[in-house]
Amino acid sequence: MIVIDPLRYQPPADLLAGRVILVTGASRGLGHAVALACARHGATVVLNARNLARLEAAYDEIVRAGLAEPALLPLDLDTAGWREYAHAASLIEKQLGRLDGIAHCASHLEKLSALETQSIDEWQRMLRVNLIAPFAINQVCSRLLRESPDASVVVTSETHASAPAAFWGGYAVSKAGLETLARIQSDEWSGAENLRINTVVPGPINSPLRGKTHPGENADALPSPGRLAPLYLYLIGSDSRGINGRTFYAQP
């Protein structure tokens, strides 16, 4: 495991020039910050979220900034099946012709509660969004990633994946599964010089999900999602080539 201060990395302006990067959960919070940062550093970003109006707002923000026109991928990770994921990969190939990276930023938490009160439906939603969706997206996009000269996948975990505690239930389990998935994928990609996958543990940040788990907290005292963007840029860009299967903590 690697502990790193993301602010120490200063990405060049053209870090992702010519690359196509898919960002899930791109309409708000961490996903929005990562998508905007990728666009600012030259990438054509595929914006994914379930809320079309928020996606269009993110699209407009990138276009108004004079950056490469992004692509919209409205897809509900809670309800999508194999056909929807395969169709999404097909659209990326048809419209953009390539895929050089994926930042899995979408996360879903029902509520903090005791295991005795959590329902099967709640567990299924968290597992579908937090674990099954990254697996499925990686799978359907694997051919495009393999065709890229330098492809990187980043998954977003959570501190309770490795330090489980009462009331985090299905969310902690789904994130622990995600970390295991990333380790398995990194091992399977270990012989490919152009493929890598790494994990980021953001820590407490001022995000909609944090507001859900800590409603009485002073959110302004927390780092903004944008402060974590340099770490994602480092892992997605070529400066991290050769780094595979690592876990990065975004805050000391």
Confidence bin at 234 (pLDDT 50/70/90): very high
Per the CB < 8 A criterion, the answer to whether 202 and 30 are in contact is yes
Q: Is it the case that residue 171 has pLDDT exceeding 60?
A: yes
**pTM here?**
0.94
Q: Is it the case that residue 188 has pLDDT exceeding 60?
A: yes
**Residue-wise pLDDT tens digits, 122-140:** 999 999 999 999 999 999 9
Residue 70: burial class (beta carbons within 10 Å; 0-12, 13-18, 19+): buried
Residue 250: burial class (beta carbons within 10 Å; 0-12, 13-18, 19+): buried
CATH no. for residue 242? 3.40.50.720
Share of the chain above pLDDT 90, in %: 84
Q: Is it the case that residue 6 has pLDDT exceeding 60?
A: no
Tell me which residue range forms the domain holding 25.
Answer: 2-249
Strand pairing report for 151-156 and 195-201: parallel
Average pLDDT, the chain: 93
Confidence bin at 142 (pLDDT 50/70/90): very high
- Please state the domain count of the chain: 1
Question: Which residues are catalytic, by number?
Answer: 171
Alpha helices in the chain (DSSP H): 29-40, 52-64, 82-96, 120-127, 133-140, 142-147, 159-162, 169-188, 208-213, 229-236
Q: What is the pLDDT at residue 2?
A: 56
Average pLDDT over residues 145-162: 96
Q: What is the pLDDT at residue 134?
A: 98
Q: Is it the case that residue 3 has pLDDT exceeding 60?
A: no
Q: Is it the case that residue 194 has pLDDT exceeding 70?
A: yes
**Residue-wise pLDDT tens digits, 40-99:** 999 999 999 999 999 999 999 999 999 999 999 999 999 999 999 999 999 999 999 999
Q: What is the pLDDT at residue 205?
A: 76
Q: Identify the bridge partners of residue 154 per DSSP, sorted by sequence position.
A: 103, 198
Q: Report the distance separating Cα 67 and Cα 175, nearest Å.
A: 33
SS3 174: helix
Q: What is the pLDDT at residue 1?
A: 53
Average pLDDT over residues 143-171: 96
Q: What is the pLDDT at residue 220?
A: 73
